[in-house]
Structure 1
Amino acid sequence: MFTLEEIAESRIVYLRRTGAYGAANNNHMEKLKSWAATHKLLRPDTAVLGIAHDDPATTPPHACRYDTCLLVPDDTGIQDPEIRETRLTGGPHAVLTVPHTAEALQQAWSTLFHDLTAHGHALDTTRPVLERYRPDLLAQHLCEICVPVH
């Protein structure tokens, strides 16, 4: 079951990976975390976000885009040509906590949108769905899927 959470508008920095979703996304996430650690942006409570931009059911695997993101303060200077930045639009999200395994994430993705509709929520397609990896949850082998809703 999901909970509702208001996620604040934030500045994010990110690395984009294009290719089939899967294990390579984890390597990409480690690359961003390493970069963030060297720039003193990675604290023990820092959440990393994943944004899958394409539906693998309708997009060829080689064209799927995945952003690994980190929330940063507005005054953080970014001087790396590989690191992009943008604003994460805030608003209400349905948050589902799931085991951090490929199987559990796949199962959650397959039922999540139906469950939202069944509970009277509609997906807000103007904002991205987020995978949120918080250290306290990862220590319990859990992660979150945050779906923007109206």
Structure 2
Amino acid sequence: MNTCIEIIPSYHVAYIRRKGPYGSENSKIMEQLKSWVREKNLFNEGSIIFGIAQDNPKFTEPKNCRYDACLVVSEEFKIDDKYINLGKIIGGEYCIFKISHTADAIQKAWMEIFDELSKRNYQFDDKRPILERYTIQMINKHFCEICVPIL
């Protein structure tokens, strides 16, 4: 897997949250966010979108798992939509896995990332969620990144 280490800054985000089992429904909430972003004319070459699985289904009942589709916004950003929330992503050191933006590649990566961390002697920081990161440049080339917080 193509990996690197990166310090990701803390970000303010506008997000839509879905609660329920992780899976294909997450992509629907991501499409809903993208529609809102396009409607508000917020999508540009510098846009960063995150998908965040907030809970580990090993410890949280699937019906209670939270998934956030997020757009990085400025600290001063104001929302005018009852379905959009404001929040913050806590930055820090991450191991970045660049993968093909397909359901199969993402699923395979999720099954392999912890073994890869171990091989590289990195320790997972379970106090921060794993991030799926998307930029226009990566989406146009059919890639995304899984950003795993490390200590």
Distance 1:129 1:140 in 2: 22
Shift in Å at residue 111 of structure 1?
A: 1.3
Q: Partner of 2:76 in structure 1?
A: 75
Distance 1:119 1:41 in 2: 38
Tell me the secondary structure at the aligned position of residue 94 of structure 1. strand
Shift in Å at residue 129 of structure 1?
A: 0.5
User: Aligned Cα RMSD in Å?
Assistant: 1.5
Equivalent pair of 1:45/1:136 in contact (CA under 8 Å) = no
Moved over 4 A (4+): none
Shift in Å at residue 120 of structure 1?
A: 1.5
Q: 1:87 to 1:131 in 2, by over 3 A?
A: same
Tell me, which stretches of 5 or more residues in structure 2 are unaligned?
none
Distance 1:40 1:141 in 2: 22
Task: Give identity over the alignment, percent.
Answer: 39
Aligned residues: 150
Q: Partner of 2:32 in structure 1?
A: 31
Shift in Å at residue 4 of structure 1?
A: 0.5
Shift in Å at residue 25 of structure 1?
A: 1.4
Shift in Å at residue 58 of structure 1?
A: 4.5
Residues 1:122 and 2:117 aligned together: no
Tell me the secondary structure at the aligned position of residue 124 of structure 1. coil
Q: Partner of 1:135 in structure 2?
A: 136
Q: Partner of 2:52 in structure 1?
A: 51
Q: Partner of 1:88 in structure 2?
A: 89
Distance 2:141 2:41 in 1: 25
Tell me, which stretches of 5 or more residues in structure 1 are unaligned?
none
Normalised by the size of structure 2, how large is the TM-score? 0.90
What amino acid is the match of 1:29? M
